[in-house]
Every structure is written in C-alpha cells, then in structure tokens.
A = this chain, B = another copy of it.
Amino acid sequence: MELYFHWFDLLGIAVFAISGTLAAWRKQMDGFGVLVLATVTAIGGGTIRDLILDVPVIWLSNNDYFYAIFAATALTILLVRKRLTIPNNALQIADAIGLAFFVVMGTQKALDHGTSGFVAIMMGTMSGVCGGMIRDVLCREIPLVFRGELYAVTCIFGGLVYIGLLELGVGKMPSMLCGMTALLLLRLAAIRWHLTIPVFGRHGKIDP
C-alpha cells in the first residue's frame, strides 16, 4: 500500500510539473524559468502546507521529487520541441489522479498534527491548488482555480468524504481510498460534462 502511495505521489508531482512547464512555454520563458515554474507548481502547495503546519518540508530530505519533476519537464520540452501534441484529456485525467492523492494525503497530514477537521480540509485543498496559484502569479495571470472550473470544489468534496467517514468510525485506509475516489469521480465528471460553479459576476453595484 505504502509503495503504491509513493508512486501516486510521484505521478501527481510529475503531472503538476508538466502543467508548470506548459505555462512557462506559453510565456516564452527561458530554461531556468521552465524549471522554476515546473518545480513550484509541483511542490508549492505541499511546501506552504508544511510551513504552516510547522513540519519539515517534505522535499528537503527526499530527492525523488526532483527526479520526477526533471523527468517530466524534460519529456514535455522534448514533445513540444518535436511539435508533438500532448493529449489534453490524458493530462487532465492524470492531473485528477494526482490531485485526489495530494488532497487526501494533505488532509491526513494536517489531522496527524492535531488540527480540526475543518482546518484539515483547508490544508488538503491548499496542498492541491496552491502550487498552481503560485504558477499563475509568476506568469502574471489571475489564478485559473478562481475562474469557474469545478476544481477546488472537488478538493473540498474529497476532504469532506474522507473526514466524514473517519467521523463515522470507518478505518483510516478505507476512508482515504473513498475520499480519493470521490474526489476523482467528481473531477472526472467535471471534465467530461464541463461542470462549472457560478462566477460571482457584476450583478450588483458598489459605492465607489
């Protein structure tokens, strides 16, 4: 089980790194920019979570994460240079798998350090979305995750399912698997049927 977890973790890291690489490519950054974007997208969320929980930042003592990031980045550059297309659907599905893993593991980590369930769900969601937010800020974009896609909400949903089952007395491992599955299914449904959440638009006016 533990071993599977490690591979899911690296899969999530790699997919996030690809999304950072592609963002850097769109902004015509240099090789260093590509590496930084790939890296912060992949490990930014977990880093902020660990800093706030005041636990050792995970990649300080494990180079595996960087191997996954560099491999994913190199592969992406190669594909893009060769004018090959990366199937967007495959990317989104891999991203959903990585996200499911990151969010539930992040929630678990917060619970392990004694936070309330509410804060734990928030930390899990941060693990999943903050990397992409930093990526977008460095690219001078308003974070994609604020733009109406059903993405962050799936994180909150997965965390709720996980914590709900724990509260009901279900064991840790089955609760985690259910939380991940629930998140994954909702995210896949959102990708398949283009589900959105309402954008908080200009429906009112405000005293200037």
Contacts and interface: CB of A to CB of B under 8 A. Distances in A.
B119 A63 contact: yes
Number of copies: 3
Nearest to A66: B118
A28 B202 contact: yes
Contact of A138 (B51, B115, B137): B137
A23 to B, nearest CB: 11
Given A30-B146, A63-B116, A143-B33, A25 B200 contact: yes
Nearest to A90: B207
A190 interface: no
B146 A32 contact: yes
Interface string A87-119: 110000000000000000000000000111011
Interface residues of A, number: 71
A141 B141 CA distance: 10
B204 A118 contact: no
Contact of A198 (B30, B83, B151, B208): B30
A36 B146 contact: yes
29 contacts: A24-B200, A25-B200, A25-B206, A28-B200, A28-B202, A29-B147, A29-B199, A30-B147, A31-B198, A31-B200, A32-B145, A32-B151, A32-B153, A33-B146, A33-B200, A37-B146, A51-B51, A52-B60, A54-B57, A61-B114, A80-B203, A81-B203, A82-B204, A84-B204, A87-B207, A88-B206, A138-B142, A138-B143, A140-B141
Given A25-B202, A85-B206, 13 more contacts: A29-B142, A29-B146, A31-B200, A32-B145, A32-B146, A33-B143, A33-B200, A51-B52, A83-B203, A83-B204, A88-B206, A138-B142, A140-B141
